[in-house]
Chains A and B, each alone.
Chain A
Amino acid sequence: MKFLEDMILRFGSIDRRFIFILIGLAVFLPLLRPIDLPIRTTPTTEKVYNAIEAIPANSKILMSFDYGPSTKPEIHPMTLGVMRQLLRKDHQIYITCLWPDGLYMALDALEEINKEFELVEYEDYVLLGFRPGNEAIVKGLASDLRKVYTVDSKGTMLSDIPMMDDVNNLKDFQFIFTGSAGYPGTFEWVQYGGDPTGVPLSSGTTSIQVNEVMPYVQSGQVKGILAGMPGAAEYEKLIGTPGIAIQGMAAQSFAHLVIVLFIILGNLAYFITERRERKY
């Protein structure tokens, strides 16, 4: 017992660089050789899936790409998944971006989706693109879309796009989905988009934001939420198209296990020191 305690204590005083190496390996190794792990879906993810599934076919859906390359691993699989689910029911997708690099993300997603769906621009989707102004853009869309966007991302006048004919503000959409990595994002869409217009709104966020958005989900201001990469993996499972999120789950699981192990060892060391100090 004494020996074990000493071992734990010695581990308790190791250099933190050792921890860095372990966590690096825990992520890196499973990426090289992925293992299949069973994915369980959670109710909040199912809520998003069901909300989108319930939209009548051929509806108009607004998708906002509010993230950039640094949070791409978390959000990108979600936006891809949502696009797939929408296109299967022939919805029309209108894409906006509150982040400048959101435009690149949207282009990337469209290229990826195009491989399976053979999209036709201005029939299946319009890429409205990025406009600077953060929450002002959301407010602008809620009151008059054409004030914010006169042309789409390619410079085509909106009046020349048949898909845009009956679209004048947020109320003309049946659903809003935002892939959000921070500010501006879910909060702005709730405060200035969803709440004032009453259009159902759903969101995929980075893990870190989940807790902040949670009260909105419970109160129904946001219809379900996709929470980080595991949320994306659940969603990939629900729509039946496995992708990079499911691939990453092994690495994710391992890293969590290692961290929990660290916490337990750290606490054991803490308890042992506390007790020894009390005794002597």
Chain B
Amino acid sequence: MILGLMAGLLFTPLAWAVLTLLCGFERSRLISWLGILVQSLVSFALWAAVASEGGFYYQLGGWPAPLGIELRVDGLAVTFVMLTAVVGGACGWHAGIYLDPTKTSHRYFWPLFWFLWAGLNGVWLGGDLFNLYVALELISLSAVGLVALGGQADALRAAIRYLMAALLGSLAYLLGVALVYGQFGSLSLAGISALLPADSGQAGLVFALVLMVAGLALKTALFPLHGWLPPAHGIAKSPVSALLSALVVKASFYIAARLWLEFGEHLGSYELAQLVGALGGIGVLWGSWLAFRQSRLKQVVAYSSVAQIGYLFLLFPLSWGVSEAVALQAQQGMTLQVISHALAKAAMFLAAGNLIMSVGSNRVDALAGVSRFLPFSLFSFGLSGVSLMGLPPTGGFAAKWLLLQASLGSGQWWWLIVLLGGGLLSAAYVFRVYRASFIENSDTDQFFHPARSLEVIPMILALLSLGLGLVAEPVLSVMVLPFAKGGGG
């Protein structure tokens, strides 16, 4: 039963990619909505199965690990599979209504969307270093294709810049993999972490870890490597921006986090952990400040992603050389931050898309008066903003609370500055958008009203992000599930 679910999970997005490649936009849309339903059900069933029976290793092609590729199906992985189903499904639903079916290039949204989904699942479940590289490339190339969709000069420039950054990041990662393979003769994550010598790390392997983390940090847009993100996320169509900010940047971060948690203990050092954390912290403050200064609405949201990604990297210092309890808190905080940011940022981008569609301009000051016409979308925008600020009872609050406790528990009080400052600055940029939209001196009364369903989807996502804080306990309990069978190393 569980094996069938796994096959379904791997097969569905790839098969739907082929199907939608062969059909036109409108038929692809119907097929895709059906596919979203199927994939969500399969993801949920797998999540439920793992929640009740525990994690396991899945051998692709029936070949065991060092020779074949094993997928690691544990609580954390299925939690993210589930998150992808929710956010990806919502974005696909939204895109089907939002995108103009008469434009020929829009039909290619669907196959790229499904390949992206396949790549994301590949990353969450990946247990093989090289397979993770291929899955990352699958994600990067389809994401670049989605940004370039439409083929306007600015979009192309952003797409090319994104592609260059993504390719360089992948190669740095692959170079690290080359060193690791040279050392161990194996690519299996579990196998390698079992082989790692208990004493302190070898210089060559330390550099391999640094290379891999640096490459992945470039792909995740960690400060100061974030330059490519705002143009790409800002210029893409709103459902695409939502997918990119909510899920795509998390994929490379997820691999970096997995590597750190598996190898960091042996190969990491206090300095490295602090450095990564400091870059994340600067990213939080700098990204929030730039978000506050942007004149275009989607750029505000895109820079806010740079900031929110910074929080994730606090995992590095907060899980190195600390007690088990603190490390667990840091991991839980990171997971909740990934989930709540994915939900909130997807909601925010989709709501921003509605607002832009309504006023016909991307500028923040053009929003004047929109509060009367589109209160629903504006409310979704605000709700997701509340989660980004980290106010209770949102998921963002729960995440930052855990990170805060981990900072205090490990005596690294300096991260408090980041957590508090970031919250204040994000409040500033969210309220700036709000203030603009409540100005009543607008001389235009010509507002376009988007379809009702377009307004419902960001609302659902924003409410989920809001409610995440209340159900954090059960969500986290699945994440830490032990392995039921198979050698976890």
Do these two chains interact? no
